[in-house]
Amino acid sequence: MEQIQIDVNTSSTEEKTVLDIKDLSVSRSGKLVLEDINLKIKSGEFVGIVGPNGSGKSTLMLSILGILKAQNGSVSIYGSPPMSRTLIGKIGWVSQAAANMKKDIRITVEELVKLGTINAKNMFFRSRKDQSAAVENAMRMVGIEELRSTDISKLSGGQKQRAVIARALASNADFILLDEPLVGIDRNSRNSLLKLLDNLCHDEGKTIMMVSHDLAAIRQTAHRMIFLEQKIWFDGSSEKFPDLNELANLRGIQHVHKHVNCKEEEE
């Protein structure tokens, strides 16, 4: 089985490289989850990561963030290793559980977004004026200005996702990572959220990497798709993403209902 690797027009200057992963292998609980991952993402790309349950999608995200350590290989973000001080404020992380807040938490949308402006560098010295400007800009980008005084618990699933994305943007992050942001939201909210992410790439120059089980949604939205199952089996433009039969062949899955000639079998 050979990985399908398609030229995605990433041959620009090194300065525009946001993420550079080389020969990455990661084990969890003694099991190899990622093996020999090589991946490069350029500024302004919208990359969708897809694959079956347990394929290593979330592990890849956590490795990029530096939460999981690699057994082999390296991860470089804007030329620095994960968790470097130089990366503070440059990466926006929206976890799968980010919008699933407890109902007894009382916090407004504006207060939630403001949390995104606080980091290790500015915790005690952030200008109120700069902070307010960052919050306003983030809410504007995701279209929730009118919800600023609304309690988070009263928002719909789609509105909560927009709010947590705004919190990530409030740090002025240029590289946004999202883990399953479409889970638990209705069709209209999903479409609206995907349009928002596309706009963030085209209009705001953000770079987005998103994990999702929703293959159809990713194919309609992302510029580039990566099929991950321990290894990368496909990396190319969304228009050239293989159909289900081709994916099965890539993964070595045989059709269980393949016709067998009984007479030939007996012979």
Stretch 69-98: mean pLDDT, rounded?
Answer: 89
Stretch 210-222: mean pLDDT, rounded?
Answer: 88
Stretch 35-55: mean pLDDT, rounded?
Answer: 93
| pLDDT reported for residue 186 | 81
Answer whether residue 265 shows pLDDT above 50. Answer: no
| Average pLDDT value for the chain | 83
* pLDDT above 70 as % of the chain: 80
Query: pLDDT band for position 41 (50/70/90)?
Result: very high
Summarised one tens digit per residue, pLDDT across range 218-247 is 888 899 999 999 999 999 999 988 887 776
Stretch 87-91: mean pLDDT, rounded?
Answer: 87
Query: pLDDT band for position 111 (50/70/90)?
Result: very high
Answer whether residue 40 shows pLDDT above 60. Answer: yes
3-state secondary structure the chain: CCCEECCCCCCCCHHHEEEEEEEEEEEECCEEEEEEEEEEEECCCEEEEECCCCCCHHHHHHHHHCCCCCCEEEEEECCECCCCHHHCCCEEEECCCCCCCCCCCCCEHHHHHHHCCCCCCCCCCCCHHHHHHHHHHHHHHHCCHHHCCCEHHHCCHHHHHHHHHHHHHCCCCCEEEEECCCCCCCHHHHHHHHHHHHHHHHCCCCEEEEECCCHHHHHHHCCEEEEEECEEEEEEEHHHCCCHHHHHHHCCCCCCCCCCCHHHHHC
| pLDDT reported for residue 102 | 67
* pLDDT above 90 as % of the chain: 39
User: Of the ranges 110-114, 190-194, 206-210, which one carries the lowest mean pLDDT score?
Assistant: 190-194
| pLDDT reported for residue 95 | 84
- In contact, 218 and 50? CB cutoff 8 Å: yes
| pLDDT reported for residue 9 | 46
User: Of the ranges 15-19, 20-24, 107-111, 150-154, which one carries the lowest mean pLDDT score?
Assistant: 15-19
Answer whether residue 74 shows pLDDT above 60. Answer: yes
Query: pLDDT band for position 36 (50/70/90)?
Result: very high
| pLDDT reported for residue 98 | 63
The full set of domains in the chain, from first to last, is: 1-56+63-79+212-267 (3.40.50.300)
